[in-house]
């Protein structure tokens, strides 16, 4: 059974910020630390939404996704075919119509740098353009695990594109 994602075509309500980590080979503890920091900042800044995808697939050879169905109860395992690389994350943060996510992104960047004891991350603003939507499509295409909140949760459920998958 082939599992295809629909393209992300929804209108973005505000400017999209992308946080880039320059460290690969992330352990599960590092990923959980980043997820917990996102949850804390989501409580501190309730107007933000985030999309955190964890991947270990090379972007140029990410061909397709497939569900491994064994006829048992529960959620079927998702397999992503492609060349395997070190574990890395793609992190997108967006505000709402009234407030920007800039302050949250700045605070999260400093928290991640403090956790890894070095300057390993940066952020950039991608706006509401097609480039931002393409980054979201790219992140969803090669994701092994997805953690989302707010507007991303609503949009992806409307499109019935993908379910939340945990590590």
The answer to whether 3 and 140 are in contact (CB under 8 A) is no
Over range 50-60, report the average pLDDT: 80
pLDDT above 90: residue 41: yes
The closest of 51, 77, 46 to 137, measured between CA atoms, is: 51
Beta bridge partners of 50: 93
Please report the pLDDT score of residue 112 as a whole number: 92
Q: What is the mean pLDDT of residues 5-34?
A: 82
Taking the C-alpha atoms of residue 47 and residue 69, their distance in angstroms, rounded to an integer, is 38
Q: How far apart are CA 5 and CA 7, in angstroms?
A: 6
Asked if 102 and 66 touch (Cβ cutoff 8 Å), the reply is no
| Rounded Cα gap, residues 140 and 152, in angstroms | 11
CATH architecture for the domain at 12-159: 2-Layer Sandwich (3.30)
Looking at per-residue pLDDT, the higher value among 83 and 1 belongs to 83
């Amino acid at each position: 059974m082939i599992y295809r994602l629909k393209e992300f075509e929804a209108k973005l309500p505000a400017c999209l910020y992308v946080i880039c980590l320059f460290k690969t080979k992330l352990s599960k503890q590092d990923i959980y630390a980043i997820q917990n920091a996102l949850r804390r900042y989501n409580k501190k800044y309730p107007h933000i939404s985030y999309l955190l995808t964890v991947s270990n697939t090379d972007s140029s050879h990410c061909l397709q996704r497939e569900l491994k169905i064994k006829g048992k109860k529960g959620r079927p395992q998702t397999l992503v075919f492609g060349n395997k690389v070190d574990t890395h994350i793609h992190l997108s943060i967006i505000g709402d119509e009234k407030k920007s996510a800039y302050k949250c992104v700045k605070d999260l960047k400093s928290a991640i740098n403090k956790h890894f004891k070095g300057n390993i991350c940066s952020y950039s603003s991608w706006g509401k353009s097609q480039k931002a939507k393409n980054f979201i499509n790219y992140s969803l295409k090669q994701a092994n695990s997805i953690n989302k909140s707010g507007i991303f949760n609503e949009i992806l459920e409307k499109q019935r594109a993908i379910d939340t998958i945990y590590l």
